[in-house]
Amino acid sequence: MTSPDTPIRRLRSQDWFDNPDHADLTALYLERFMNYGTTPEELRSGKPIIGIAQSGSDLTPCNRHHLDLAKRVRDGIRDAGGIPIEFPTHPLFENCKRPTAALDRNLAYLGLVELLFGYPFDGVVLTTGCDKTTPSAIMAAATVDLPAIVLSGGPMLDGWHEGKLVGSGTVIWQSRRRLAAGEISRDEFLETALDSAPSIGHCNTMGTASTMNAIAEALGMSLTGCAAIPAPYRARGQIAYRTGQRAVELVMQDIRPSDILTRAAFLNAIRVNSAIGGSTNAQPHLMAMARHAGVELTSDDWQAYGYDIPLLANVQPSGAYLGERFHRAGGVPAIMWELLQAGHLDGSCPTVTGQTMDENLKGRESTDREVIKPFAQPMMERAGFLVLSGNLFDVAIMKTSAISDDFRARYLSEPGRENTFEGTAFVFEGSEDYHARINDPALDIDASSILVIRGAGPLGWPGSAEVTNMQPPDRLIQAGIRSLPTIGDGRQSGTADSPSILNAAPESAAGGGLAWLRTGDRIRIDLNEGQCNMLVDEAEIAKRKAAGLPETRPSATPWQRLYRETATQLDEGATIRGADDFQRISRTLPRH
Ligand code: FES
Ligand code: MG
């Protein structure tokens, strides 16, 4: 699509820089931008001012190379007739922020909303990478509704250790089990982990980072093929340049997130998440983006639109390969091409390219069938999330692709009903309690136990922790039992491969059914009926309720308290309650 030479409407930034009614204020708005060499002519030229929301810093190593990529974004913006202004966003480093980076997603969202609304921007390039950097940016873009485009940073190069592929996160979970089984030393554990991170970029597995960037592309918010290009490849710098150019054109054509973030686009994203074997964190993040976009999306949509979609990407943790090979096989467009041919994608969705999704996907069939499977010969049928409910929670999800045959054999409750499981609950109050007690010989955990963790949801933790993927006691691992089913009101890492029922809502700290469970209770899981229940009668549950909720830690910082006062549950995206009343706010200008 060609772009007009002049914008469709008067630019928002002109209210700051070229406003005849406020000549005195204009001087004030302009003068300090001059002190690094910008000229008044530039800012008053009527060219769009394009923000570069810079998520990279030493504190977000996964996104740090955006500091360099931004130079190419600036070139693209300038060449297309815009003016770049780069600014920092709140850092979100998944692995390091305590108690969890999830606590800060809404803080980063709030910060970005204020910046985009309160400063003279006409459009914005959202630089994304590490897990929460993508949803927080899209949530803010949806609220403000300025023309916006996502530039993913891309995954690290593939990691190798002793001739084998080692993927970020996934290798940690695997090495933990090998350490517990006495197969490797602590030094080997560390070396393997370090080898999984060989270059700049975000996690190279299909963890939450790769998933969320794939989802940004599936939603139509980034250029075609953007998500999977490895961070150090030359193509990454080239797409940074094109993204900068395209940001200016979006302003000229007045294409906004509200044109792109439709219900159809969100349903496409759910389907893509199944086909790539995406992270369970996609559930709350996609819900949060939908809420801020004003799009109706429910927990049931995950099962209705996503469950039947097969797994097509042979990428860890559900498959064998890593980001580089996935990119060379065609990346997200090749996955979407399969879905489109099979009639499981809405190709009419508009995108930031100015074209519809099916136009973007022309000629994008995979060239590597070892890594991206044809829809008719997938890695696995029905690879989406199951949505469960019962007396332990109203909503929880399960990534059924992680259920092993061994698990099925151990937990079958009734012969012939192959998806009904039963086991005895062992309840932990958060991860400290789990780590302190899991190897206690007095705890009678065996191969038919179910590990339960609570106090790990948005209010309990606070922020909601990635702790549901609990490892069995060392003695069971040494005996060959490498995983037990787990249930929790927390999340789990997108790189984990545990058969978990997670993201339970309402959480224990909000009075959800998990709060009333006791160690020794029997739990029945019926995947046919989507049910998960403690086999405890109503009278007994009522008695336990009288004892009150399990204790949670007090808030340690002001934001923790504010977060707890405002956060919704995971099934609603753990958004800020009421923040979704604010939509398309850039259509009104802030006061002077
Ligand atoms: Fe940042 Fe995985 S820790 S992308
Ligand atoms: Mg994570």
Cα 465 to middle of ligand 2, angstroms: 9
Neighbour tally for 493: CB within 10 Å = 27
Q: What is the pTM of this model?
A: 0.96
Do the Cβ atoms of 136 and 243 come closer than 8 Å?
no
Atom of ligand 1 nearest to the CA of 131: 4
Q: What is the percent of the chain where pLDDT is above 70?
A: 96
Cα 277 to middle of ligand 2, angstroms: 15
Rounded Cα distance, 470 and 438, in Å: 9
Average pLDDT of the chain, as a whole number? 94
Q: Where are the domains of the chain?
A: 47-158+198-361, 159-197, 385-547
Give the residue, by CA position, lying nearest to ligand 1 atom 1.
130
Residue 1 has pLDDT above 50, yes or no: no
Helices (H) and strands (E) in the chain, counts: 22, 14
Is the domain covering 385-547 a CATH 3.50.30.80 domain?
Answer: yes
CA 222, 223, 224, 226: dihedral to nearest 10 degrees?
-70
User: If residue 122 lies in a helix (H) or strand (E), which one and from where to where?
Assistant: none
Report CA-CA distances (Å) from 23 to 18, 28, 43, 395, 535. Answer: 8, 9, 14, 56, 72
What tokens does 262 get?
A: 């439709």
The answer to whether the CB of 327 is under 6 A from ligand 1 is: no
| CATH number, domain 47-158+198-361 | 3.40.50.2300
Q: Note the pLDDT tens digit of each residue in 376-408.
A: 999 999 899 999 999 999 999 998 766 666 666
- Ligand 1 mutation pick, 92, 96, 173, 202, max ligand atoms within 8 A of CB: 202
Rounded Cα distance, 251 and 160, in Å: 43
Residue 500 three-state SS = strand
Atom of ligand 1 nearest to the CA of 169: 2
**From 6-10, 39-43, 127-131, 445-449, the region with the lowest mean pLDDT:** 6-10
How many residues are recorded in the chain?
592
What tokens does 276 get?
A: 């790539």
**ipTM value greater than 0.90:** yes
Closest residue by Cα to residue 151 from 231, 91, 256: 231
Average pLDDT over residues 155-161: 97
Residue 218 has pLDDT above 70, yes or no: yes
Identify any residues that bridge with 425 across adjacent strands, giving them in sequence order: 450
Q: Note the pLDDT tens digit of each residue in 74-124.
A: 999 999 999 999 999 999 999 999 999 999 999 999 999 999 999 999 999
- What's the pLDDT at 577? 97
Report DSSP letters for 247-308, one per residue: HHHHHHHT--HHHH--HHHHHHHHHHHHHHT--TTHHHHHHHHHHHHT----HHHIIIIITT
Residue 592 has pLDDT above 90, yes or no: no
Looking at residue 126, the DSSP 8-state letter turns out to be E
Assign 3-class secondary structure to 76-111.
Answer: HHHHCCCEEEEEECCCCCCCCCCCCCHHHHHHHHHH
Average pLDDT over residues 246-255: 98
Helix spans in 127-255 (H):
133-144, 170-180, 186-195, 208-219, 234-253
Closest residue by Cα to residue 232 from 205, 203, 204, 200: 200
Rounded Cα distance, 375 and 230, in Å: 25
The answer to whether the CB of 62 is under 6 A from ligand 1 is: yes
Cα 90 to middle of ligand 2, angstroms: 17
The answer to whether the CB of 197 is under 6 A from ligand 1 is: no
Atom of ligand 1 nearest to the CA of 129: 4
The answer to whether the CB of 277 is under 6 A from ligand 1 is: no
Cis bond before residue 506 (omega within 30° of 0): yes
Q: Nearest bound ligand to CA 465?
A: 2
Q: Nearest bound ligand to CA 154?
A: 1
